Amino acid sequence: MEELFQLGEKVLADELKVEELKRYPENLQERKFFEKPFRRSALIVSGDRVKHLRKVFGRDADIIIFNVEDGVSDKNKPFARLFLRKFLTNTSFDGSKEIVIRVNPLDSQYFWEDITKLLPAIPHAIRLSKVETAEDIVVLEGILKAFELSKGLEEGTIKLQLSIETGRAIENLGEILRASKRINAAYLGILDLFADLKLSQKLLKTSRFADYIREKFVLTCRAHNVSSIAPAYQDYEDLEGFRKEVEREKELGFDGKSCISVKQVGIANEVFSPSLEEIEEAKEIVKLYEEALREGKGGITYKGKFIDQPIYKDALNKLKYFSS
């Protein structure tokens, strides 16, 4: 693999022709399904950042998003597709991280090259940018199904994740999420959304409208059993500000956070995980409640509170983090 990284760096530096990279072999490695029941952090890495790609599988993010959309210049998009295909095809997926490729919008001149060049790497999911209607999902669903059939893969092997970045997308979100059983996560692109709605970015921190958008997004995602991922925080050096934003987004019901730096990943994982105290309490509630069920009781009292099925289910959800 070191040879691949050296080739990539030399091609980017115009020291070698891209044909040298094209000749690098592709040997598809083991593909295990993503095993975690949660998505606390989603680290975004551009496909032309060879230096960052070297260490990316050693990061603690639950999701790694390999980007060939707006984080990669038009000039570098062909290189990013080729390098990612070589890199991911020759890398085994052990199931501890969800491997996602973010492609350009359906109506983009780059979409077809993205899909045809990168699907052979068989990622866990494809993230489609700037989704606006259920029809967008139906089109991509058909492409994924045809690819899976051609490769002898089980239908639904490759999941769908969505970037929600426009007013039309927010308006149609419920219909969009119902368009495919493959959809397992959606990302709120609130900067793009405000630009699309012709609203000042300053309103993001001062307007109740921004929270309304976040709440509407989270509620719709949760109603459709889809993970809701909060927007990236652009000032990557302001970790205190990042933590405050993540804590607020957790209160609003988000499942995780888009991250653009490794330090952000650690904070997102911490905030979106239950505390050790919460885990211990959840273990006790589950133990006592299941004992009560075996005795034919419908509920228990724990620390002066009545515990019934909804609280028991909440405790089980918290223990998913502990078991993973």
Cα–Cα distance for residue pair 324/269, rounded to 1 Å: 13
Coil/strand/helix, residue 166: coil
Mean pLDDT lowest among 2-11, 105-114, 146-155, 305-314? 305-314
Residue 34 banded pLDDT, cuts 50, 70, 90: very high
Interval 303-307 mean pLDDT:
81
Topology at the third CATH level for domain 2-274: TIM Barrel (3.20.20)
The residue among 149, 151, 189 whose CA lies nearest residue 169 is: 189
In the predicted model, is pLDDT for residue 119 greater than 80?
yes
**Distance between CA 50 and CA 5 in Å, rounded?**
7
The per-residue pLDDT for 322 is 66
308 in a labelled binding site: no
As a whole-number percent, the residues of the chain with pLDDT over 90 amount to 79
Answer yes or no: is 192 a known binding residue. Answer: yes
- Separation CA 71–CA 315 (nearest Å): 39
How do residues 161-192 score in pLDDT, each as one tens digit?
999 999 999 999 999 999 999 999 999 999 99
Say whether 102 counts as a known binding-site residue.
yes
* Per-residue pLDDT reduced to its tens digit, 258-304: 999 999 999 999 999 887 888 888 888 888 888 888 887 777 888 87
Query: At a CB cut-off of 8 Å and minimum separation 6, what does 86 contact?
Result: 4, 21, 24, 26
Predicted pLDDT at 317: 76
Q: How confident is the model at residue 72 (pLDDT cuts 50, 70, 90)?
A: very high
% pLDDT > 70, the chain: 98
**If pLDDT is split at 50, 70 and 90, which confidence band does 316 have?**
confident
Q: Which residues fall within 8 angstroms of residue 252, CB to CB, at 6 or more apart?
A: 211, 214, 215, 218
Q: List the chain domain ranges.
A: 2-274, 278-323
Q: Enter the pTM of the model.
A: 0.90
Rounded distance between C-alpha atoms, residue 287 and residue 300, angstroms: 11
Judged against a pLDDT cut of 80, whether residue 215 lies above it is answered with yes
At 324 the pLDDT is 56
Q: Give just the sign of the alpha carbon dihedral 37, 258, 92, 125.
A: positive
pLDDT for res 305: 80
> Residue 234's CB: how many other CB atoms inside 10 A?
10
